[in-house]
Amino acid sequence: MMNENLKYAAAAVVVVGLSVGGGLYLSRGDRAPPPPDKPVVAKPAPPPLPPEEPAIKHPLPEAPTPDPLPPLADSDQPIQNAIETLVGKDSVQRFVVSKDLVRHIVVTIDNLSTEKVAERIRPVKPVAGRLAVSGTEDAPLLDPANYERYKPMVQTIRSLDTKQLAATYTRYYPLFQEAYESLGHPPQYFNDRLIEVIDHLLLTPDLQGPIALAQPSVQYEFADPKVESRSAGQKALIRMGSDNAKVVKDKLRELRSVLIAQRPGN
């Protein structure tokens, strides 16, 4: 995807037409008056071309729409119904925050590769329970018992039918694109951003053994600055433990593969 607009520069061409006659020496009275100096004329710069829209790398096919899509502002219930078809009503009630669902999904995905995702715009509810910490007060560790908190959600992710998930996403894609454009980005394609974020999450390191924590204030953080400086999405995968993270990564790989296979012409 092209991430920069083309840059154009216009140089003004200055034409100087000054003619100096020489030749025969003429007396002052016989000398013809010198031609007037031609004014310096600057050619106008060409008008700037409109910025080139980024090329789409991962286009999706247009999904058949037997029924028209709802307006984005009225899409919460249809999207919730679609998710219930994928994971069941109980899982939706347990995990999903249904208000402004499409917008929150889009903003959260867009922010996963950045430092922080605001709690108020997350489309899923916080994991139940408190962070489990072991070790000592001076050398706290991320307790493996903490990973149990994530298992119900991870099992729901594992059970997802990836092809059906991709089909649902494609069916409602215009709403996701509209929500993405409303963020104020230059013209970009949300599915390209989704693939980019998936690739970023798949680069999350698999940390084995005790993971050291630090508590500089009320909140715990990773003691290793290299781990703490990672994105919000990668740190979320690390916090859920290696086994849970593997399930999520495997599902992300499956989804990426299905979405790429859906590309027109494949």
Give a yes or no: residue 10 inside a domain.
no
176 within some domain: yes
Do the domain assignments include residue 79? yes
Domain count, the chain: 1
- pLDDT tens sequence for the chain (266 residues): 323 232 222 222 222 222 223 222 222 333 334 445 455 454 565 666 555 556 899 999 987 777 899 999 999 999 999 999 999 999 999 999 999 999 999 999 999 999 888 888 889 998 888 899 999 999 999 999 999 999 999 999 999 999 999 999 999 999 999 999 999 877 899 999 999 999 999 999 999 889 999 999 889 999 999 999 999 999 999 999 999 999 999 999 999 999 999 888 77
H/E stretch holding 14: strand 14-15
Given a contact cutoff of 8 angstroms between Cβ atoms, the answer to whether 188 and 54 are in contact is: yes
* Pair 236, 222: CB distance under 8 Å: no
37 within a domain of the structure (yes/no): no
- Token couple for 186: 């230059």
| Owner of token pair 């560790």 | 141
Please give the model's pTM, rounded to 2 decimal places.
0.78
Q: Which two tokens stand for residue 138?
A: 């001076």
Is the CB of residue 113 less than 8 Å from the CB of residue 199? no
CA distance 179 to 173: 10
Which DSSP symbol is given to 53?
P
By three-state DSSP, how is residue 244 classified?
helix
Range of the domain at 138: 72-261
Listed in sequence order, the residues at least 6 apart from 109 whose beta carbon sits closer than 8 Å to its beta carbon are 193, 194, 197
Is 54 inside any structural domain?
no
Looking at the domain assignment, is residue 120 inside a domain? yes
- In Å, how far are 6, 33, 161, 248 from 255, measured between CA atoms? 33, 84, 10, 11
Asked if residue 45 belongs to a domain, the reply is no
Residue 44 lies in a domain: no
